[in-house]
Chains A and B, each alone.
Chain A
Amino acid sequence: MNDEIRQRRWTFLKQMMLIRRFEEAVATAGAEKAFPGHYHLYIGQEATGVGAMAALGPSDKIATTHRNHGHVLARGADPEACLAEIMGRANGINRGRGGTIHLCDPELGFLQTSGVVGSVVGLAAGGGYACKLKGDGSLTAAFFGDGALEEGIAFECLNIAALWGLPVIFICENNSADALGMAKGGYPTLVHAANDLRSIPGSLGIEAIRVDGTEVEEVHRVVAHAAAHCRAGKGPLFIETVTRRWAGSAPLWPELATGITDIGMATGRTKIDDGPHSYWYRHNDPVLKLARQILQDDHSARMQIELLDEQTQAHMRAVVERVHQSPYPELATATDFVFAQGAA
């Protein structure tokens, strides 16, 4: 293994830990009823967002959905602005207008962050259209759930993207593998007639790849391949990343059923017992998985991993503290931003 890969793994671990600790903070605040509304956590899918974002360039565009926190953080957004948005504060990344479902930073290349299931597939096709028109080699990446493929708009826009050869990477995060959500009446592919989701873009001639969405290096490799394909003018690509609905997560108001992540389960400090979540801890949790991979390569990294985790947790504690103290938007501004300035 060369140094570049080693270095990249550390960057990945850092970002994935930030997302994990961020989402735990959101769930904690949610359980304390510190903010209203339902929300969707990215726990269990960190490897997909982080691996994919690392393969995109600074001028590439991104569209995402209700389950967006991990994408926005992986692209480099400030966690404090993100949490403030989720808590409806004036210093939120969208000034409290979007909330958890619509975290969006156009300066980082984000188009809409839409809560309308399926829309992202279409908006991303539009993003790809603009990228092609600009002719600067940029592309658009769409992140959406398997549920998006149940909507007609997905078919319409996959067709348009294929027909017009648009530079779009359609990344479908299928989090229904082993889903406890299935038993709970969640949103798995149980409600899809197509057993293999790749057959949907495949029927339109779009190359479709399936990858283990808990393996950050794998996701990164496949998305980098897709990006090169798009930049070479070969049109869209579809990637299904197979992830697992985080053990015990309810689809709308998630509870921390597996508890706060204990990085000691990767470093050997904490023993994993044979409880109901042992399979999750041993095999599915992408953060523990990556930490173990780093350790396998370098046993001396144990301290460094634990230190990184402590620093991340301390950082998030400070963020939570500040956000709790930050003000709500002025009521008189509630009707600002209906139209862009300079309107005719």
Chain B
Amino acid sequence: MPHQKTYAAAFVDALLDSMSDDRMVTLIGSAPLGLGPERHLTEELRHQYPDRVLDPPTAEGGVASVGAGAAMAGARPFVDLLTGSFVYLAWTQIVNEAANGHYMSGGKLQVPVTYHCLEGVRGAGAPQHSQSPHAMLWNAPGVEIVIPSMASDVYGLIRTAIASPNPTMIFSHAKILGIESDVPPSRTPIPFGKADIKRHGRDVTIVALSICVHHALAAAVELAEEGIEAEVIDPRTLVPFDEETILASVKRTGRLVIADEVPQRASAASEIAATIAERGFDYLKAPISRVTRPDTPIPFSPALEQSLIPSARKIAEASRALCMYRNQ
């Protein structure tokens, strides 16, 4: 019987099981759930593995480097880089060291490090605490990118990330930690590169990332009341990326909306749009629509902040517009 769990609880389950399976798995950064109400859940990790949970100094580059070096030397660290905005300080260690290691050694070296951060517009973060580096990282070959949206996926994806022989970056949106969803009764890893169809529909495909999956599902309920059946697809991993599931869906619906909470230019939505335009042009009955942020830093003031980010309303509007397009 499936039962409900929060994203945060499933996240911690994955770490506990990974640490119990392999003594080389350690946690560097003891607060991967941030400062929110779920943070107490990580106490169990420290309680069970006091020697394998470490609090590093405030040194994102150093911590990322230690993670990469430790992985090269045979450890399997899960490295928490805290707020996504600060991952830029670790950029050269992730992109230049971890991501290139296997390639520039000619396949001799493996770098099985897992990085994690809490990204996204978290509410009152102002420009410096609201960033999402996942799209920028997608431009760096050599890192697997995991972007779980719900409790049902986060356990299996983290297990796979930690077991992977490659560097992996997991992006959790700061606002989804407390959201509950059904988790499967058996705890199994989820293979990378397999998108999940979160809702089936025939009229429009909505590809949504992270928190936008929740907005898209809410939009789909709204649209269904109007007779529009939206299919909601969660890619779950950007690297590897499941083009086939999206292509097959667009072939059925003929319409594609992509929702991604990052500035529009060179967003993940842009890359997905380009891919489908290249490979699925003949299926399209309307132009592809991107629901993203404008190319603007995120303001502090709550109403301004809210006006800039993707929402169920904006996704529903974009979907409606595509369905109207047919009739023009």
Do A and B actually bind? yes
Contact A95 B106 (CB under 8 A): yes
Closest-by-CB residue of A relative to B99 is A338
| Residues of the B chain whose Cβ atoms lie less than 8 Å from the Cβ of A144 | none
Residue from B57, B142, B160 within 8 A of A159 (CB atoms): B57
Chain B positions 76-117 with a Cβ under 8 Å from a chain A Cβ: 77, 92-93, 96-97, 101-110
A138 to B: closest C-beta gap in Å:
8
Contact B106 A93 (CB under 8 A): yes
Tell whether A343 pairs with B93 under 8 Å between CB atoms, given A127-B72, A133-B26: no
Residue from B65, B96, B161, B165 within 8 A of A341 (CB atoms): B165
The interface size bin for chain A is: 35 or more
| Residues of the A chain whose Cβ atoms lie less than 8 Å from the Cβ of B77 | 126, 129
Chain B positions 51-77 with a Cβ under 8 Å from a chain A Cβ: 54, 56-57, 59, 61-75, 77
A198 to B: closest C-beta gap in Å:
20
Residue from A122, A339, A340, A343 within 8 A of B65 (CB atoms): A122
A255 to B97, CA, bound (A): 30
Q: Mark B162-196, 1 if CB is under 8 A from A, else 0.
A: 01111000000000000000000000010110000
| Residues of the A chain whose Cβ atoms lie less than 8 Å from the Cβ of B164 | 343-344
Contact B141 A338 (CB under 8 A): yes
Tell whether A104 pairs with B66 under 8 Å between CB atoms, given A130-B73, A156-B57: no
A121 to B68, CA, bound (A): 12
Chain A positions 293-344 with a Cβ under 8 Å from a chain B Cβ: 336-344
Tell whether A156 pairs with B62 under 8 Å between CB atoms, given A98-B105, A104-B105: yes
Contact A94 B69 (CB under 8 A): no
* Interface-central residue, A98, A119, A159, A344, by most chain B CB under 10 Å: A344
B170 to A: closest C-beta gap in Å:
13
Q: Mark B141-170, 1 if CB is under 8 A from A, else 0.
A: 110100000000000000011011110000
| Residues of the A chain whose Cβ atoms lie less than 8 Å from the Cβ of B92 | 116, 119, 153
Tell whether A153 pairs with B73 under 8 Å between CB atoms, given A106-B108, A114-B97, A126-B66: no
Say whether B24 faces chain A, with CB atoms less than 8 Å apart: yes
Say whether A131 faces chain B, with CB atoms less than 8 Å apart: yes
Contact A339 B166 (CB under 8 A): yes
Closest-by-CB residue of B relative to A125 is B66
Contact A340 B141 (CB under 8 A): no
Q: Mark A35-73, 1 if CB is under 8 A from B, else 0.
A: 000000000000000000000000001010000000000
Contact B70 A339 (CB under 8 A): no
Q: Mark B257-281, 1 if CB is under 8 A from A, else 0.
A: 0000000000000000000000000
Closest-by-CB residue of B relative to A61 is B73
| Residues of the B chain whose Cβ atoms lie less than 8 Å from the Cβ of A93 | 106
A102 to B106, CA, bound (A): 10
* Interface-central residue, B59, B96, B104, B163, by most chain A CB under 10 Å: B104
A154 to B: closest C-beta gap in Å:
9
Contact B57 A125 (CB under 8 A): no
Closest-by-CB residue of B relative to A111 is B72
Q: Mark A180-198, 1 if CB is under 8 A from B, else 0.
A: 0000000000000000000
Closest-by-CB residue of A relative to B28 is A129
Say whether A283 faces chain B, with CB atoms less than 8 Å apart: no
A63 to B69, CA, bound (A): 9
A94 to B102, CA, bound (A): 10
Tell whether A159 pairs with B59 under 8 Å between CB atoms, given A96-B106, A106-B105, A112-B72: yes
| Residues of the A chain whose Cβ atoms lie less than 8 Å from the Cβ of B69 | 63, 111-112, 122-130, 140
Contact A106 B61 (CB under 8 A): no
Contact B24 A153 (CB under 8 A): no
B28 to A: closest C-beta gap in Å:
8
Contact A125 B62 (CB under 8 A): yes
| Residues of the B chain whose Cβ atoms lie less than 8 Å from the Cβ of A105 | 108
Tell whether A102 pairs with B104 under 8 Å between CB atoms, given A123-B72, A342-B165: yes
Contact B61 A133 (CB under 8 A): no
| Residues of the A chain whose Cβ atoms lie less than 8 Å from the Cβ of B165 | 340-343
* Interface-central residue, B93, B101, B160, B192, by most chain A CB under 10 Å: B101
Contact A98 B106 (CB under 8 A): yes
Say whether A97 faces chain B, with CB atoms less than 8 Å apart: yes
Contact B97 A336 (CB under 8 A): no
| Residues of the A chain whose Cβ atoms lie less than 8 Å from the Cβ of B106 | 92-98, 337
A124 to B68, CA, bound (A): 9
B321 to A: closest C-beta gap in Å:
38
Chain A positions 78-126 with a Cβ under 8 Å from a chain B Cβ: 92-98, 102, 104-107, 111-112, 114, 116, 119, 121-126
Contact A156 B107 (CB under 8 A): no
* Interface-central residue, B24, B141, B163, B165, by most chain A CB under 10 Å: B165
Pairs across A and B, CB under 8 Å, 28 listed: A61-B73, A93-B106, A94-B108, A95-B107, A98-B104, A111-B69, A112-B72, A116-B97, A119-B97, A122-B61, A126-B69, A126-B72, A127-B69, A130-B69, A130-B74, A131-B73, A140-B69, A153-B65, A156-B59, A157-B59, A157-B62, A157-B66, A160-B56, A163-B57, A337-B102, A339-B144, A340-B102, A340-B110
* B residues with CB within 8 A of A: 24, 26, 54, 56-57, 59, 61-75, 77, 92-93, 96-97, 101-110, 141-142, 144, 160-161, 163-166, 189, 191-192, 240
* A residues with CB within 8 A of B: 61, 63, 92-98, 102, 104-107, 111-112, 114, 116, 119, 121-131, 133-134, 140, 152-153, 156-157, 159-160, 163-164, 336-344
Q: List 8 tightest A-B contacts by C-beta distance, closest first.
A: A126-B69, A122-B65, A156-B62, A95-B106, A123-B69, A130-B73, A94-B106, A156-B59
Other 18 A-B pairs with CB < 8 A, given A119-B97, A126-B75, A344-B161: A94-B106, A98-B105, A104-B105, A119-B65, A122-B66, A123-B65, A123-B69, A123-B97, A126-B71, A126-B73, A127-B69, A130-B75, A153-B65, A157-B65, A159-B57, A159-B59, A337-B103, A344-B144
